[in-house]
Amino acid sequence: MKRIELCENGIHFALEINDENEAKLLHFSALPFDERNITSRTGTLGFRLVEINVSGLDRPYERHGNKYIVTAPGYRMNFRDFKDTANQLGRKLEITTYDEETGLEAVSHFQFYNGVSVARSWTTVANNGTEELTLEYVSSFNINGIEKEGLLMQDKKMELSVCHNSWQRELQWTKYTLPQLGVEQCQPKEYQHSSKVIGFTNVGNWSAKEYIPMGFLENTETGSAIFWQIEHNGSWHWEISDQEGHLYLQLSGPSEIESHWCRVLKPGDSFESVPCAVGVCRSGAENGGCCFDAAMGELTKYRRKIRRRNADNERLAVIFNDYMNCLWGDPTAEKELPLIDAAAEAGCEYFCIDAGWYADGFWWDWVGEWQESRRRFPNGLKEVTDYIRSKGMIPGVWLELEVMGIKCPMAETVCDDSWFFTRHGKRVFDRSRYQLDFRNPKVIAHANEVIGRLVSEYGVGYIKMDYNIEPGIGTEQNCDSVGDGLLQHERAYLSWLDGIFKKYPKLIIENCSSGGLRMDYAMLSRYSIQSTSDQDDYRKYCTIAANSPSALCPEQSAIWSYPMTSGDKEEVVFNMVNAMLLRIHQSGHLGQIEAERKALVKEALSVYRKIRADIKKAVPFWSLGPSGFSDEWVSLGLRTESSAYLAVWRRESKDDTCVLPVRFLNGRDAEISCIYPSFNEEKFAYSKETSAVSVQLRKPYTARLFRLDF
């Protein structure tokens, strides 16, 4: 038997090569490895490094239900090689296992990142045998014993936090005990063996339509946690359940049972699973004893490391978009010109013309050609984009390039079925749109032509790339399964996107999918900015804004701010505070509001330009925890090495005062100031003794932005 133990950036990692030549991942934790914590009656039997299921192979013993344990040939993979190298990112481990009978070889990759307690994990599988093999499942990460530290039963110490997501109700964290999700310890620990799985799955091309592809599991007894994100823009699955007396966590991309995926490997073929990120943390004085804040801080730093380097995430430009609580997809030259004047006066730096610029009437089912509407713009769209530039802003437009409307002339005169997803011999459509297949070179040529024309003819420097359909499980063309057709398309789309950014490095493209329904780091490692919601009620939007840095970097989180045509000063302030610690998507009829309220918008943008250099390097914290829509008080903080910003919102609370712990200050001196709005007359104070900020907001639906210097 051989043990390999290491600690890299706070991640304690232990691998065992046992006497049967099996590779066992024994430990991946913020706490040191202690062999005494492996209490299963079968020892390390369930601690497999990788799970792989191939069609037509038997299993030697029961797995109970649809769990991805005791997979075949996963259960019999033997150790072949271990590589420990370094690259510019950090340490890299590659562990090779193989199955003698089928000739299947797997390499488990663990890429560590210097200075961050997060590793990226994925699996490559190769068929080195003589017969075709059909993959039904491949894990990207698999660890057993996630509950093993401490003395309490798992029911009393393990808490799982899941980020639910939905249109206009994005980014809703819910904390569960394991019994609340149906996994309860009913037998002595060493005999636990149930058929229940805590499983979270996405099927289709909206990667975050029900859940953000991430999770957070805390051991409240030991003050430690493991957290993860699946970096894929389509179908994915993760699960927690029991195996041989312990709890396991398993992450993957598409699978046969959940998402109709399989892949045939001919001799010599290989497959790479979708990547995922897994991190660990523990509570401590530096994070005020809050594991969740620590985890999200580590994820923020990791996300910045894997993201495409770009000027947008350095500058954090202010974008005006004419859609939300403004033109609502009905732009004309007559409407745009006064809006452009008002946006420029307020201090916006980009101006985006949203949906409708390409259609004379109802535009939903005609999209696809992306030619300007002369009815809306009698002198051409270029007149408006030139006017935007004359006001010192960069023009942008809305696109939905991955679809084509069913009434678009191209859909019948130019495109055959190979352009689109098909199932059962029919084109797949949703909401009067066909799904384009980016594996088709003609689709790529079409998309390239549209982007090139907009950039060269109109000087477009910003594209709001929307996506408003869900094409389901995939396509049947040129693939082994409909799920694999979807996977291939998604990877082709990412490859196309890489090419666009290489050709147009200054172009900003926003990731939008009916708001925030594709918040994943396959997309966000490329896109610099992400739409977070279509929520049109600013009083609810503060919850989405406050929670957004848990799913993406603050400098990528686009938040609408849309002062209403009828409102007071506090309505404007509440709107602006929603966005001021993130990325401002300004909207609203700025030309139609009173001068006093318009001045508050201008003031907010001026303050934002002064603090945005801190936003791009700060990590988030939540004094009141993640927000819910029913919360009466909401807060979001961003911290740097010497300062912190704290946004506070009061909704319909009966109490006019809220105490907000700033735990990481840990008794340090700090100076607090209100940096927006300048007319503030509300009371606030920082207590060194309690490391907390007290804020009094006397009226419901008021907000303030504070700065702490320490």
> pLDDT (tens digit, 9 = 90+) per residue, 183-194?
888 666 655 678
Outline which parts of the chain fall under CATH 2.70.98.60: 2-306
The whole-angstrom separation of Cα 550 and Cα 554 is 9
Is it true that the peptide bond before 32 is cis, omega within 30 degrees of 0?
A: no
Outline which parts of the chain fall under CATH 2.60.40: 621-709
Domain 312-544 classified CATH 3.40.630.30? Answer: no
Average pLDDT over residues 613-639: 97
The whole-angstrom separation of Cα 258 and Cα 53 is 14
333 and 377 Cβ atoms separated by less than 8 Å? yes
Neighbours of 224 (CB within 10 A): 20
The whole-angstrom separation of Cα 478 and Cα 371 is 31
* Orientation of helix 333-346 relative to helix 595-615, angle to 10°: 60
241 and 217 Cβ atoms separated by less than 8 Å? no
Neighbours of 498 (CB within 10 A): 13
676 and 576 Cβ atoms separated by less than 8 Å? yes
Rounded to whole angstroms, what are the CA distances from 298 to 301, 602, 625?
5, 34, 17
The whole-angstrom separation of Cα 122 and Cα 275 is 5
The whole-angstrom separation of Cα 575 and Cα 559 is 10
Residue type at 568?
Answer: D
> pLDDT (tens digit, 9 = 90+) per residue, 243-278?
988 999 999 999 999 999 999 999 999 999 999 999
* Orientation of helix 569-579 relative to helix 595-615, angle to 10°: 20
Average pLDDT over residues 679-695: 97
401, two tokens = 């390039």
The whole-angstrom separation of Cα 224 and Cα 434 is 47
Average pLDDT over residues 382-399: 98
**Residue 134 backbone dihedrals phi, psi, to 5 degrees:** -105, 115
Q: Residue 192: what pLDDT?
A: 62
Q: Is the dihedral of CA 286, 558, 276, 304 positive or negative?
A: negative
Average pLDDT over residues 684-706: 97
Average pLDDT over residues 396-413: 95
Q: Which H or E run includes 488? A: helix 482-503
For tokens 């329904």, the residue is 517
In the chain, pLDDT over 90 holds for what percent of residues?
A: 93
139 and 121 Cβ atoms separated by less than 8 Å? no
571 and 335 Cβ atoms separated by less than 8 Å? no
- Please, what is the end-to-end C-alpha distance for the chain in angstroms? 52
Q: Which H or E run includes 91? A: strand 91-99
Is it the case that residue 39 has pLDDT exceeding 90? no
682 and 700 Cβ atoms separated by less than 8 Å? no
- CATH code at 2-306: 2.70.98.60
The whole-angstrom separation of Cα 421 and Cα 439 is 10
Rounded to whole angstroms, what are the CA distances from 589 to 323, 389, 632?
10, 20, 28
The whole-angstrom separation of Cα 516 and Cα 168 is 8
Q: What 3 state SS string does 381-435 have?
A: HHHHHHHHHHCCCEEEEEECCCEEECCCCHHHHCCCHHHECEECCEECEECCEEE
**Residue 14 backbone dihedrals phi, psi, to 5 degrees:** -135, 125
In a 10 Å sphere around its CB, with 0-12 CB exposed, 13-18 middle and 19+ buried, how is residue 365 labelled? middle
**Residue 247 backbone dihedrals phi, psi, to 5 degrees:** -100, 140
| DSSP code at position 78 | E
DSSP lists the bridge partners of residue 405 as 433
Is it the case that residue 111 has pLDDT exceeding 70? yes
Q: Residue 483: what pLDDT?
A: 98
The whole-angstrom separation of Cα 13 and Cα 24 is 11
Give the domain 621-709 fold. Immunoglobulin-like (2.60.40)
The whole-angstrom separation of Cα 176 and Cα 194 is 19
Average pLDDT over residues 374-394: 97
Outline which parts of the chain fall under CATH 3.20.20.70: 312-544
Q: Are strands 270-272 and 116-127 parallel, antiparallel or unpaired?
A: antiparallel
Neighbours of 44 (CB within 10 A): 20
Q: Residue 361: what pLDDT?
A: 72
39 and 150 Cβ atoms separated by less than 8 Å? no
Average pLDDT over residues 7-14: 98
Q: Residue 189: what pLDDT?
A: 60
Mean pLDDT of the chain: 96
148 and 119 Cβ atoms separated by less than 8 Å? no
DSSP letters spanning 20-52: T--EEEEEEESSPP-GGG---TTTTTT-BS--E
Q: Residue 96: what pLDDT?
A: 98
Neighbours of 80 (CB within 10 A): 14
DSSP lists the bridge partners of residue 584 as 559
Residue type at 532?
Answer: T
* pTM > 0.85: yes
